[in-house]
Structure 1
Amino acid sequence: MHDVRELLKLGAEAERKLARRRYTLDLPGLREAHRRRSDSLATLERLRAELKKSGAGRRAGAEGPTEAERERARSLRERVQAAEADVRTVEAALREQLLRIPNLPLDEIPDGHSEKDAVEVRRGGPPIRKDVEPRHHAEIGTDLGILDTEGASRLSGARFAVLKGPGARLERALVSFLLDLHTQRNGYTEYSVPHLVTRDTMTGTGQLPKFEEDLFATSAGDRELFLIPTAEVPLTNLVARDPADEAALPLALTAATPCYRAEAGSYGRDTRGILRLHQFEKVELVRVCTPERARAELEVLVGHATDCLEELGLSYRVVVLPAGDTGFSARMTYDIEVWLPGSDAYREVSSCSDCGDFQARRAGIRYRDAAGRRRPAATLNGSALPVGRTVAALLEQGLQPDGSVRLPECLVPYTGFRWILPGGGTALTTRG
């Protein structure tokens, strides 16, 4: 969320920045809402001062107030209560306006509004293989006997998947490998977090109010809770209202959780296989730092996400998203895209975002600077990695001419096998 004073101070500059997102900032409406809040607060303070003054100056032992004085005090108390209610109303209206305004994109990111406008930064991993006829992961997984989308559809409908045998073991192995990588090498603290969170929690990271149709909501009695779309939501909110000292920054948090997304508006896209599911596992990274360090920390975060793909031996590229395709809460985002031979395309496997102090102002995330002052922190988040899309890449890039799949060496201690064989078998030794 924005500081309304900063937005109004920027004025036309804020309008220009948000126009790159195709968002029209209503500056006159914002000014009016800010004026109403200022006037309401001034009225409240004046009435409180009058009420306080009405009981001042009485000497000990003096006669009590007259009936007229009592009546005036009653009237003032009622007016103070009415003014307090008015302040709550106008502040809620202003907050509602601010909650719907996206973050200001950094000027360094490109213009544009779709993935076609993303700018490639670099490529990594091994060269793209040319020795095997590409096949889609859904076909590979079905032939191997480890992927059952029809069974999942009978259980839950479209966009769910069941992995079995070596496929399920591979998912579990990936989660353990990724958590070990980030906690042991990259310095993250692992958390186990709730998968159901409140409306306030979702609002703190920017999922609400704008993206409510993309969320799965639940209720039990009078309790409303939402299934998390990413561990970013509980991890980021977890550090709210408990300021860390500047010397302790950056904070680095990670968690593996299921993620639940309604994917409203995306029907017809990636319906085959496990690229776009309503439920999937993901390891998430969150970093909290000073605003001055945020841009540099974004590069650190991207490095940690690409570490995963380097270790897994997967071909990938890094792109910077254009302003119009950058997420609501982010001011800059790098997408890391893994090569999927079966689609003859790079597909996003991680988004690493610098949110500046945008989420911190919404969620109340502060730190204490060297002088002891509380200041809004900066937050960053990134996937490292989503398990389903990583499995898809491992199947497609690890496919062998005989239909088997070779897994990277780093996963063998976690899986207990190096090869997945047609029919669902596995093998540890090198095949001839």
Structure 2
Amino acid sequence: MTVSTAIARLNAADPDFARHLDHLLSWASVSDDAVNQRVLDIIKAVRERGDAALVEFTQRFDGVDASSIDDLILGRERLELALTRITPAQRQALEKAADRVRMYHERQKQDSWQYTEADGTVLGQKVTPLDRAGLYVPGGKASYPSSVLMNAIPAKVAGVAEVVMVVPTPRGELNELVLAAACIAGVDRVFTVGGAQAVAALAYGTESVPQVDKIVGPGNIYVATAKRHVFGQVGIDMIAGPSEILVVCDGQTDPDWIAMDLFSQAEHDEDAQAILVSPDGEFLDRVAASIDKLMPTMERAEIIEKSINGRGALIQVRDMQQAIEVANRIAPEHLELSVADPQAWLPQIRHAGAIFMGRHTSEALGDYCAGPNHVLPTSGTARFSSPLGVYDFQKRSSIIFCSEQGASELGQTASVLARGESLTAHARSAEYRILADKKGN
């Protein structure tokens, strides 16, 4: 296979650097009108015809010979069977990864709390898990058992009573690794449906698919569009864009390592983004040479080439301080600090989904087994959002209990503010509870 790499070279000293960087980072994730309308039609059909629509769409889009919804349901025993069908090494790897993911997320659990004021008023917060979560898992070529672990385990740690998984099975092909991961992660029910129809079924429920409170997990443009439309009916995790990696390097890491780290995200799809930032121009040249050398050895070379040439970049900066500034400007999904003392730079990192510290910490470890979640904000949304976690499957209710004295004291304040807003019923409701000796004050 012949590949030709021509990764973009940018220099932060150039007067038009900001414009070129903005162009490089731009990503239009909005569905076109045709996709949008098709998704709306699918959602409408599932809401109106339930299981029958799911069977029809699964036959049409996935080529599955299903005569009824019963053909699209996998029981717990089928998940357990998958554990016996994968290799011992695969099972051991899944179980070790699951243990590490579970251990990390156990530390994220939030507990309810209360405190009592001097007059007896009690304030607090009640933390409650969602009743039911829906997990979308891609099928076919894009089969990711690691995503099953990363989505299902935090839900179970949070205390979600039921996790329902949907996974398409093109032409009826089941992925044993995905099913084994579902078994290990504690998934309760599995439906072999996908696309916008699966999202609609989870959001609104059918005769067989239970309605969930939140839908998580990656998918194609139809899945993402459907998640946008059902948001509000249910919660969603995020609308994810293409995978991203930004490597900040001082020029002392093996250039082959860096090239392969860039490849690790570029191989996801042609729209993935891989960027290297360094103050060492000669090092950028060496990494470019490593890219050319290693590219032909990759199984997914064509995908990597399109990603690297289309959205990748090698960026030269003045110094490490400017490298960090560029990193914060990009707010990447994955940030590798491939430097001598990453801990020294960590306080200055403000925007990143996950931060990989030091030369030996490849992003790939985070994808599979380090422990932290690999479901991360993309397309600059790390400026305001966080990795998927236990907190995404817990909700918080405020607790307010007023003593007689507390209601009287607070009532006076509420009365003034309510009347200032011309909300008389609010004011009088609070005033009824003001103690007699306070009303003249």
Would the TM-score normalized by the shorter structure come out above 0.5?
no
Q: Which has the higher strand share?
A: 1
TM-score by length of 2: 0.24
Q: What TM-score results when the alignment is normalised by the length of structure 1?
A: 0.24
